[in-house]
Amino acid sequence: MYPRVSFGLWEKRDAKRAVEAAVQAEQMGIDGLWLDVSRNVPDPVTFYAAAAWATQSVSLGLAIVPTYPRHPAVLANQAQALYQLGGERIRLGIGPSHQHIVEGAYGLEFDRPLAHLREYLQILRTLTESGRCQFQGEFFRVDVTLDSIAPLPLYVSALRSRALQLAGELADGALTWLAPVNYLRDEGLARLEEGARRGERQRPRLIASFPCIVSNDIATVRQRIGPMLTLYQKLPFYSSVLNAAGVDLRGDEWPEDALSRIVIWGPPEQIREQVDHALAQGIDEVSLKLFSNGNTPDELATLRSVGAPVAP
């Protein structure tokens, strides 16, 4: 059972405080959390083990563990610990990240990211479900045996058609970010279905992640979201999806109608309406990452009514 509405864990720059925030979120009645993995902060794959031990019911998701700098057998080994501490409450999201990070920060070759992700996911799935993998492909040669299995739900980052098809074929779900609801309804679900038919399986879950701002002032929305959008609109994966969905973010001030398609904002009742609308389009889970006024727990408390009953 996984939530229909989840939230981004607001603390990640200090491992101990992040674990405390996960405990606080559970006490607030939040059903699911997602946390992104960044190269300049403590490793969430490590401290999520402590969060799993310190909590009882909240779903803890990692979105996204970059594949290039972390070997799939190493991540499978880490998944053993996560599973033993948190069971299937732990959701493991993986993705290739971006060329400027993989090559610029790590000095690795960002070669054919979808083919690389396919092999990575196949190895990770085999190891977590069976504990034994012998594999030889274009990118990996693996001969590994683990002491125990760790059948965690495996998600992949997906925005464009081929990535969504891959998720439909091999993963337990697709994780998106900044993708408009109409794009996910018309393109996302269709490509997931195509991949699922190719893999002769049911369509996996589609999780749509959005920035969320508790304010009905468009100037506040622009101010809080500005630095992030300035970065993401320059990244090819995101700019191509936004262009395909007809979201025009050009100019010095982003139009209100464009922002409203990729940012969930307003007072709590308006945010609830937007979340309900997204879920009604066939999206399985909406995940909200708060861009707050500096007191995220207080703002999060105002959104308790946004949460929906859990779904299988």
Please, what is the average pLDDT of the chain? 92
pLDDT band at 265 (very low <50, low <70, confident <90, very high): very high
pLDDT in tens, 205-236: 999 999 999 999 999 999 999 888 888 877 87
Name, in order, each residue with C-beta under 8 angstroms of 93's C-beta and a sequence gap of 6 or more: 34, 61, 62, 63, 64, 65, 154, 155, 156, 157, 175
Q: What integer pLDDT is reported at residue 308 of this predicted model?
A: 44
Report the pLDDT averaged over residues 149-169. 97
Statement: residue 309 has pLDDT above 70: no
pLDDT band at 304 (very low <50, low <70, confident <90, very high): confident
pLDDT band at 312 (very low <50, low <70, confident <90, very high): very low
pLDDT band at 109 (very low <50, low <70, confident <90, very high): very high
- What tokens appear for 244 in the block? 């395909």
5-306 folds as TIM Barrel (3.20.20)
Report the pLDDT averaged over residues 20-47. 94
Q: What integer pLDDT is reported at residue 100 of this predicted model?
A: 84
Q: What integer pLDDT is reported at residue 237 of this predicted model?
A: 77
Q: What integer pLDDT is reported at residue 11 of this predicted model?
A: 94
Q: What integer pLDDT is reported at residue 98 of this predicted model?
A: 82
> Would you kindly state where each structural domain of the chain is located, as residue ranges?
5-306
Q: What integer pLDDT is reported at residue 235 of this predicted model?
A: 81
pLDDT in tens, 84-102: 999 999 999 999 998 888 8
Question: Which pTM does this prediction carry?
Answer: 0.93
pLDDT in tens, 266-292: 999 999 999 999 999 999 999 999 999
Tell me how many degrees the CA angle 21-27-30 measures, rounded to the nearest 5: 80
Percent of the chain whose predicted confidence (pLDDT) is above 90: 77
Q: Choose among 121, 124, 105: nearest CA to 113.
A: 121
